[in-house]
Amino acid sequence: MFRLDSKIALVTGGSRGIGRACVEALARQGATVIINYVKGEAAARELSDQIVAAGGKAEIAGFDVADTAATESQVDAIIKRHGRIDILVASAGIAIDGLLLRLKDEDLDKLFNTNVRGSLTVARAATKSMMRSKWGRIIFLSSVVGEMGNVGQTGYAATKAALIGAAKSIAREYATRNVTANVIAPGFIDTDMTAGMTDPQREAIHKLVPLGRTGKAEEVAAAAVYLASEEAGYITGQVLRVNGGMYV
């Protein structure tokens, strides 16, 4: 089940964290995976080499998802090289925390340009080929805070909530082309993004999570593989929460 042989998958933010775990999991299921990064070329290349050495198929594509022209031309080039993109996991994202009163315009611009506009630009470019091949899977990475809010994360939470509305709309727009669009909303997952948390902050989060721990990137990647699979073909416009029960 959940095999992805002969599928072409693009994972934005695939060099680290959740995106990296998605790359590994999709490649294990047989997909050819294009690993996007913005700064982490060495990490992306190492991951790609590792997958190829294990008999899988992977390559790297560096571009800033907030740069629309670069994103469009790189996605077009991927489509030209491989004939199509079947699966998009839009994991590239940044967090800038701060109470609303202290949020600067430039912080909001960075957050929205990367997390929202970046995800939508890649999706717009990738769906061109999905419409032609009448098969596609779009998966956005939202967050538990996009649904429940969090003190000090007004800007970030707003971007993550926006992706839910976007995926639901894409789901409706592209359904007749057999393209599904879904969202994964992780809770607190151990990656570089959450590495800065202090021990007391971590303990406070554990208390909020019925399963009593933070999550692993691999646990989020398993959800991405499922949503990308043929077997998930009747699931669209949904939010799949991978959060240890923190928000139900």
How many Å is the Cα radius of gyration of the chain?
17
Stretch that binds ligand NAP, among 9-17, 72-80, 130-138, 170-178 (CB under 6 A): 9-17
Residue 94 as a binder of ligand NAP (CB under 6 A): the answer is: yes
Please list, residue by residue across 68-95, b when 16 or more beta carbons sit within 10 angstroms of its beta carbon and e when fewer do: beebbebbeebbeebebbbbbbbbbbbb
Residues of span 158-217 touching ligand NAP by CB under 6 A: 186, 188-189, 191-194
- For residue 186, the cross-strand partners are 242
Q: What is the DSSP letter of 153?
A: B
Contact residue for ligand NAP among 111, 138, 141, 224 (CB under 6 A): 141
Annotated active-site residue 156? The verdict is yes
* C-beta of residue 119 within 8 angstroms of C-beta of residue 40: no
Contact residue for ligand NAP among 93, 136, 155, 244 (CB under 6 A): 93
Strand ranges, E, within 4-148: 8-12, 32-37, 57-62, 87-90, 136-141
Q: Output 142 or 180, the one with its CB closest to ligand NAP.
A: 142
Least Cβ distance, residue 201 to ligand NAP (angstroms): 12
Positions touching ligand NAP (CB under 6 A) are 12-13, 15-19, 36-40, 43, 64-66, 91-94, 114, 118, 141, 143, 186, 188-189, 191-194
